[in-house]
Structure 1
Amino acid sequence: MLTIAMPKGRIMNEALSLFQQAGWPVPLQMELDSRKLVVSIPEAGFTLFLAKPMDIPTYVEYGVADLGVAGKDVLMEQARDVYELLDLGISPCRMAVAGKPDWQPDLHPRVATKYPRIAESYFKEQGEQVEIINLHGSVELAPVIGLAERIVDIVSTGQTLRENGLVELGCIAEVTSRLIANKGSYRLKGEAIQELLNQLEQVI
């Protein structure tokens, strides 16, 4: 059995749909008992762990899950010691810098984000000194109320930015979901993992 950590929500449905297309008999999220956090699918040879997206790389790094599906944004932010095996190409979006349309450079600019590691690295590469403010909720609020001049966040359609009077000021990285593996599991269960990889690659 391969244990696979799956993020709850839209990414999970897209990932399970890929697995189905690749010939694996897995249910979609809507067909699963929403109260269960561990789901065994013996006919596919899988056990699924249903978790929050930010926790997926932790489960995989510590080996309680052999594989996981995680967004590139989460992998960039956490820098966990895992193998990134395959770009699944699902849930595309981008990590962007945003702010008000009339934003002007400041001597001591503040940037609000849920991704402090990514933001700090990006602005350091740009040679720009900023103060990073770590938030956990709707970071779009920060420029509106004057907490920060800019934000770093995931942008998909840009609708939330527009509704709050913000615009994209730059793109840090394109983001999709990736299949990741525990390093020990990749050695011990390499044959089963490679079979899954080959099937998914054909579909993608």
Structure 2
Amino acid sequence: MPDPSSTPTLTFAIPKGRILEEALPVMARAGVVPDASFHDKANRSLTFPTTREDLRLIRVRAFDVATFVAHGAAQAGIVGSDVIEEFDYAELYAPVDLAIGRCHLAVAEPAGADSAQSGASHLRVATKYPNLTRRHFERRGIQAECVKLNGAMEIAPALGLAGRIVDLVSTGQTLKDNGLVETARILDITARLIVNRAALKTDPRVGALVEAFRADAAERKAA
């Protein structure tokens, strides 16, 4: 029997923010269970042990989950399909739709905005999704000048930074509270299990994780 201490540690990346609460029970059913230190709100660590000696968690920003997995620093993780589509890393494989974290990516503008802009060939758009935003507007023959923001998108039009925003929408209440209305739906989003392609080919434990998450997703779908 191989010595557990000589087995390389797998790193599983999870996102801070909106997906995490829904992801934890899904992870637990697939055998990825953080230890008690993970739930200590005073703990500022980004790395956590799990109930498996050969598996650790890292908790990082959603965009960084994709980067860590794509470059092999983490072998697997959970992230929204918005992040996958924004980066389109060749080494990233998303084999399981976890059907959690549902929302969508949308274009929004101030309610009652000047309709003359509807035929414009150039727009300034505030977003943290410049690639998805440019592609969306290019398909409509519009050049989008993207102003990159990591948050507070909704106040950009009121402050004159951009005429439109592209951001995640769940209930739409945040848009309404900031005097914005949704004008186009770009992408429906759910959380996905992602793995590094090379790790999937070389480490059977990564394949076992994929099968565990796939079985849980299938069971929930059938329920």
Structure 2 residue identity aligned to 1:15: A
For the residue of structure 1 that corresponds to 2:161, the secondary structure is: coil
For the residue of structure 2 that corresponds to 1:145, the secondary structure is: coil
CA, structure 1 residues 33+186, in 2 after alignment: closer, same or farther (shift >3 Å)? farther
For the residue of structure 2 that corresponds to 1:140, the secondary structure is: helix
Shift of 1:165: 0.6
Shift of 1:30: 2.7
Q: How many positions carry a matched residue from both structures?
A: 204
Alignment partner of 1:39 is 2:32? no
Identical positions, percent: 38
Q: How does 1:1-204 map to 2 (within 5 A)?
A: 1-22=9-30, 25-26=33-34, 29-30=38-39, 34-43=43-52, 45-81=54-90, 82-103=92-113, 104-106=115-117, 107=120, 108-190=122-204, 191-204=207-220
Per the normalisation by structure 1, the TM-score is 0.89
CA, structure 1 residues 85+33, in 2 after alignment: closer, same or farther (shift >3 Å)? farther
Shift of 1:93: 0.7
Shift of 1:200: 2.6
The separation in 1 between residues aligned to 2:154 and 2:172, in whole angstroms, is 11
Shift of 1:42: 4.1
Shift of 1:27: 5.2
The separation in 1 between residues aligned to 2:53 and 2:22, in whole angstroms, is 17
| 1:73-116 Cα shifts (integer Å, max 9, x gaps) | 11111112200111111111110000012222423432111111
CA, structure 1 residues 137+201, in 2 after alignment: closer, same or farther (shift >3 Å)? closer
Is there any run of 5+ residues in structure 2 with no aligned partner, and where?
A: 1-8
Shift of 1:53: 1.1
Aligned 8 A contact 2:126 2:148 in 1:
yes
Aligned 8 A contact 1:84 1:180 in 2:
yes
In the other structure, the counterpart of 2:6 is none
**Larger Rg over CA atoms:** 2
CA, structure 1 residues 89+186, in 2 after alignment: closer, same or farther (shift >3 Å)? same
For the residue of structure 1 that corresponds to 2:52, the secondary structure is: coil
CA, structure 1 residues 110+92, in 2 after alignment: closer, same or farther (shift >3 Å)? same
Per the normalisation by structure 2, the TM-score is 0.82
Structure 2 residue identity aligned to 1:12: L
The separation in 1 between residues aligned to 2:116 and 2:53, in whole angstroms, is 54
Is there any run of 5+ residues in structure 1 with no aligned partner, and where?
A: none
For the residue of structure 1 that corresponds to 2:65, the secondary structure is: helix
Structure 1 residue identity aligned to 2:79: A
Aligned 8 A contact 2:99 2:217 in 1:
no
For the residue of structure 1 that corresponds to 2:105, the secondary structure is: strand
